[in-house]
Amino acid sequence: MKTVLPTLAKMNERVVIGSRGSKLALAQAQWALATLSLAQPALDIQIEVIKTTGDVKTEPLSIIGGKGVFTKELEEALLDRRIDLAVHSLKDLPTIVPEGLALAAVSEREDPRDALVLPKGSPPGCESLADLPSGAVVGTSSPRRLAQAKYLRPDIEIKELRGNVDTRLRKLDEGQYDAIILAAAGLRRLGLGSRITAVIAADQMIPAVGQGAIGIETRDGDTHAIELARLLNHELTQLACTAERALLRALGGGCQLPIAAHAVIHDRDLHLVGLVASRDGSQMVREEVAGQRAEPERLGATLANRLLGGGAMELLAVGQ
């Protein structure tokens, strides 16, 4: 039996989606546009590109502020009513949403894992971080990836890597790095899945909170925009990411220390693993929790307490 979706739009009603201008951000915004257009053909949907702090600064994210540098200007555009929906990579969205705004939907997750990428033309045989030669230069801009990579391979050299995906791949292929680590989801959304040399197992390198998911932000109380956003929502991904974000929020999401979390749902159960590490990866606290998927906030807070009791509190104090 065919499902008939309710009509939420008047003919030619204009809806503006806000997006960063990177290829990946625009690919995500185009997905939102296409999905909404299919569900509500009467809509006149447009994408407005908004430049964020993270797009114009060249310093490492740990220096320019990390969380919020890719979202603040989009949120301001929402509050100013220049856009109706903001499309974010969920891992970039701070866990505390500004007053007047709401995280209205979370998309079905792409592969949340990290990917190891070698230069074009590299000989086959590298299937994990363990296969890299001693002293290999590995590029990443993520403290989370740096810490876990150094924990697994203290003999490799980590080198800062900034720029969009194309720029990072170009630097790799030019020989500035022996390998780089990127999000598998981003590569696949850009049609660059063939560049993935090896996907790093989530139990070896725990992903970032929300990695692989797209967050749709609206004005709080904008009932119509929220109803449209819900057409993009995937309930199981939303529950999993709610648990991850609750963990990060309870730990103090603005901290620049490496924090990672990954939730998996099986039937009615939710399993959440989390990690806090020192910046150099020499110290690491890892814990996990399981419970009912209907209680993601509680499970995230519970795991945060376990991490704090297991030594994360001391790491976080040093990282302030």
| CATH number for 153 | 3.40.190.10
Mean pLDDT of 255-277: 94
Burial of 256 (0-12, 13-18, 19+ CB in 10 A): middle
Is 208 among the domain residues? no
Residues 1, 28: one domain?
yes
pLDDT score, position 8? 61
Residues 160, 305: one domain?
no
Q: How many CA atoms lie within 13 A of 188 on its CB side?
A: 14
Give residue-wise pLDDT tens across range 127-177. Answer: 999 999 999 999 999 999 999 999 999 999 999 998 899 999 999 999 999
CATH code of the domain covering residue 280:
3.30.160.40
Residues 128, 188: one domain?
yes
pLDDT score, position 63? 47
Residues 134, 154: one domain?
yes
Give residue-wise pLDDT tens across range 108-129. Answer: 999 999 999 999 999 988 999 9
Is 206 among the domain residues? no
Mean confidence (pLDDT) of the chain:
91
Q: Which residue range forms the structural domain that includes residue 255?
A: 234-320
Residues 2, 101: one domain?
yes
Mean pLDDT of 269-282: 95
Residues 178, 220: one domain?
no
Tell me if residue 267 is catalytic: no
Is 207 among the domain residues? no
Q: Determine which one of 44, 55, 80, 92 is catalytic.
A: 92
Nearest to 200 by CA among 252, 240, 260: 260
Residues 9, 62: one domain?
yes
pLDDT score, position 255? 63
Nearest to 217 by CA among 39, 92, 133: 92
pLDDT-based confidence at residue 317 (cuts at 50, 70, 90): confident
Q: Phi and psi at residue 72, in whole multiples of 5°?
A: -55, -50
Q: What is the domain count for the chain?
A: 3
pTM score, whole prediction: 0.91
pLDDT score, position 70? 83
Q: Are 237 and 107 in contact (CB under 8 A)?
A: yes
Q: Are 289 and 302 in contact (CB under 8 A)?
A: yes
